[in-house]
Amino acid sequence: MTMQEEAAQTTEMVVETAQAASESGAAEGFGDLVSRLSSGDMSGDTWILAWETIGQPVLLAIVLIVSVMFIAGWIKGLTTKACRKANVEETLSRFLGNMVRYFVLFAGGIAILGTLGVETTSFAAVLAAAGFAVGMAMSGMLGNVAAGVMLLFFRPFKVGDVANAGGTTGKVIEIGLFTTTFDTPDNRRIIVPNGSVFGGTIENISHHETRRVSVSVGTDYGADIDKTREVLVAAAKACSGVFQDPEPAAVLTGLGGSSIDWSVRVWCNSADFWAVSDQLTRDVKYALDGANIGIPYPQMDVHLDGKIAQG
C-alpha cells in the first residue's frame, strides 16, 4: 500500500471517528444535562451545557428558518419575473413560482430537521409514502391540474374567446388550474373541469376575424336554375355587413324530394355573424318572393292500386 493510500485511509477513519464521537457526545451531553437539572444543579457549567446542547442548535435552526423563507420568496420572485419576460400566461407564471417556493421550503425543512438531530432519511421516506397516498386519492384533481397546465402552455383559446369545449359553448372568462369558466350567450355561467376541456375536441369559434355565413333554401322544380342563382346572389350582395371579396355565392347543393336545394354563402366579420345570418335569411326570402320563385312545402304523392271498397 502506498503512502497516499495509507494517508487517505487514515483520514477517512479520523472523520468517521469524529462523527461518531460527535453523535455520542451530543447524546451524552443531553443526558448529562437532564441528570444535572433533575438533581437541582444550576451551576454555570450546567447553563453552559444547556447552551451547547439546546441553545446553539435551536438558534441555528431559527436562523436557517428565516434564511430558507427569504431564499424561497426570492427564488419565487425570480421565477415569476422570468416567466413574465418569456410571455408565459400569468396563471402559469404564478403556479411555477409557487411550486419552486414550496420545493425550496421542503428541502430547507429537511435540512433544518437534520441540524436538530432528527433522522431525515426515514422522515423523507414517510413523506414520500404520504405524498404517494395523497396523490392516488387526488388523482382526478391532479389530472385537472395537469390539463390546466396544458391549456396554459398550448393555449387553444384565451380569455375573451368564444369556444366550444367540454360540452359547453360560451365566452371564456377564466382559465384556472382546476377549472375553466364560460359565460353562455343566454348569460349563464358554467364552470367545467379542465380534464373535460382538454380531453375532448376544442372549437375556438372566435379565433379568426372573419367567418362564413351559409343559408340553406329550397326552390320549386319549375323555377329556372340560372334565374334563381341570379336572384340569390343579388340578395346576398345587397345584404349589409357582407364582404364583396370573397364574392357572395349561391351553390346548388342537391335535388331534394320536393325542392331544388341551394346554399347562399357570404363572408363577414366574426362579430357580425349572427346579425348577417338573420339579415341574409330575411333578404333571401323576400328576393325569392319578389321574383315569383316559390319555396315549396314538403310534398308526398300517394298512388292507390286496385278498387276502393264502397262503404
User: Containing H/E element for 203?
Assistant: strand 203-204
Grid cell in block for residue 40: 437541582
Q: What is the pLDDT of residue 22?
A: 42
Per-residue buried b or exposed e for 251-282, using 16+ beta carbons within 10 Å of the residue's own CB: eeeeeeeebbebebbbbbeeebbeebbebbee
Q: Which one is predicted more confidently, 38 or 197? A: 197
Q: Give the SS3 label for residue 64.
A: helix
Q: Contact 243/183 with Cβ under 8 angstroms?
A: no
Q: Which one is predicted more confidently, 148 or 304? A: 148
Q: Contact 57/118 with Cβ under 8 angstroms?
A: no
Whole-number mean pLDDT of the chain?
Answer: 79
**What topology is assigned to 157-204 in CATH?**
SH3 type barrels. (2.30.30)
Task: Kindly report the pTM of this predicted structure.
Answer: 0.56
Of the candidates 186, 184, 49, 265, which has an alpha carbon nearest to the alpha carbon of residue 172?
Answer: 184
| pLDDT of residue 285 exceeding 90 | yes
Q: What is the pLDDT of residue 72?
A: 86
pLDDT tens per residue across span 29-54 = 555 555 655 655 556 555 565 566 66
Domain ranges of the chain: 17-134, 157-204, 210-290
Q: Give the SS3 label for residue 204.
A: strand
Range with the lowest mean pLDDT among 20-24, 229-233, 299-303, 306-310?
A: 20-24
| pLDDT of residue 94 exceeding 80 | no
pLDDT band with cut points at 50, 70 and 90 for residue 7? very low
Range with the lowest mean pLDDT among 66-70, 83-87, 248-252?
A: 83-87
| pLDDT of residue 20 exceeding 50 | no
Q: Indicate the CATH number of 17-134 among 1.10.30.50, 1.10.10.10, 1.10.287.1260, 1.20.120.1810.
A: 1.10.287.1260
pLDDT band with cut points at 50, 70 and 90 for residue 293? very high
Rounded-to-integer distance, Cα 95 and Cα 58, Å: 33
Q: Contact 179/144 with Cβ under 8 angstroms?
A: yes
Q: What integer is the mean pLDDT of 174-186? A: 89
Q: What are phi and psi of 224, to 5 degrees?
A: -70, 130
| pLDDT of residue 239 exceeding 90 | yes
Q: What is the pLDDT of residue 15?
A: 36
User: Domain 210-290 is of which CATH architecture?
Assistant: 2-Layer Sandwich (3.30)
- Angle at CA of residue 31, ends 108 and 120, nearest 5°: 25
In the β-sheet with 260-269, what is the strand arrangement from edge to edge? 210-219, 260-269, 249-255
Q: What integer is the mean pLDDT of 255-264? A: 91
Per-residue buried b or exposed e for 54-90, using 16+ beta carbons within 10 Å of the residue's own CB: eeeeeeebeebeeebeeebeeebeebbeebeeeebbe
Q: What is the pLDDT of residue 288?
A: 94
Q: Contact 211/243 with Cβ under 8 angstroms?
A: no
| pLDDT of residue 242 exceeding 50 | yes
Q: Which one is predicted more confidently, 1 or 226? A: 226
Q: What are phi and psi of 171, to 5 degrees?
A: -85, 135
| pLDDT of residue 193 exceeding 60 | yes
Question: What is the DSSP secondary-structure string of 100-147?
Answer: HHHHHHHHHHHHHHHHTT--HHHHHHHHHHHHHHHHHHTHHHHHHHHH
Q: Give the SS3 label for residue 217.
A: strand
| pLDDT of residue 77 exceeding 90 | no
Q: What integer is the mean pLDDT of 258-271? A: 93
pLDDT tens per residue across span 142-164 = 788 888 888 888 889 988 899 99
Q: What is the pLDDT of residue 16?
A: 46
In the β-sheet with 162-165, what is the strand arrangement from edge to edge? 189-193, 179-183, 168-175, 162-165, 203-204
pLDDT band with cut points at 50, 70 and 90 for residue 17? very low
| pLDDT of residue 267 exceeding 60 | yes
Q: What is the pLDDT of residue 68?
A: 84
Give the CA dihedral 249, 254, 257, 259, nearest 10 degrees.
20
Rounded-to-integer distance, Cα 270 and Cα 208, Å: 7
pLDDT band with cut points at 50, 70 and 90 for residue 14? very low
Q: Tell me whether domains 17-134 and 157-204 share a fold.
A: no
Rounded-to-integer distance, Cα 173 and Cα 159, Å: 5
Bridge partner list, 218: 261
Rounded-to-integer distance, Cα 148 and Cα 181, Å: 12
Q: What is the pLDDT of residue 260?
A: 93
